[in-house]
Amino acid sequence: MIEQIRKDLIKALEGLFTGANPGEDAILVVGCSTSEIVGEKIGTDGRDDVARAVFDTLRKFCRKKKIRLAAQCCEHLNRSLVVEKETMKRFALNRVNAVPQKHAGGAFATAAWKDMKEPVLVESIAADFGIDIGDTLIGMHLKPVTVPVRVGVKKIGEAHLVLARTRCKYVGGERAVYDPDLA
């Protein structure tokens, strides 16, 4: 099961990266229910081995593509995010005081906290693109105009998968001319 999770996640990440076309230093927000991945109701069966596999796959992908990762906690920590301290400083994010645990933050955020170099918890972020594994509701952490990205992968394990990118807002009226490179 773990190897299939990794394979499906890599395929989804590659498709999302192609569809989103983010530049270096872009932020990827990820919400992940390991309970949903193993076929259980969100928040009921957190799995450390699944969380580590998902986080490790994401971390390697982000390093390779030179993008930043934000790991969303569950609602018990108000969907705060685990990021590297350097990311917090670079984007002037508001730090909050909590340490994710399996039953208050979730297995995925806990794995991120344990494996990041200098993890901190921040209140919110405006990410460039995102992955929602298991209906964790990442929308609050994406930039205002979000567009779904469709790839061949619809699930990670048993968890529903939603991929999204963001784009600039279109402003103006009938006389406006838009830059197609920002679409």
Q: Which amino acid is at 166?
A: T
| Mean pLDDT of the 161-180 span | 90
Determine the pLDDT at residue 178: 87
Whether the CB-CB separation of 58 and 13 falls below 8 Å is answered with: yes
Strand partners, 82: 71, 121
For strands 146-149 and 68-72, give the pairing.
unpaired
Average pLDDT over residues 1-21: 97
Q: What is the pLDDT of residues 156-169, one digit of tens each?
A: 999 999 999 999 99
- Is pLDDT above 90 for 26? yes
pLDDT band at residue 171 using 50, 70 and 90 as cut-offs: confident
Which H or E run includes 122? strand 119-122
Mean pLDDT of the chain: 96
**pLDDT above 90 covers what percent of the chain?**
91
User: What is the structure's pLDDT at 70?
Assistant: 98
- Structural domains in the chain, sorted by start: 2-169 (3.40.50.10360)
Q: What is the pLDDT of residue 180?
A: 87
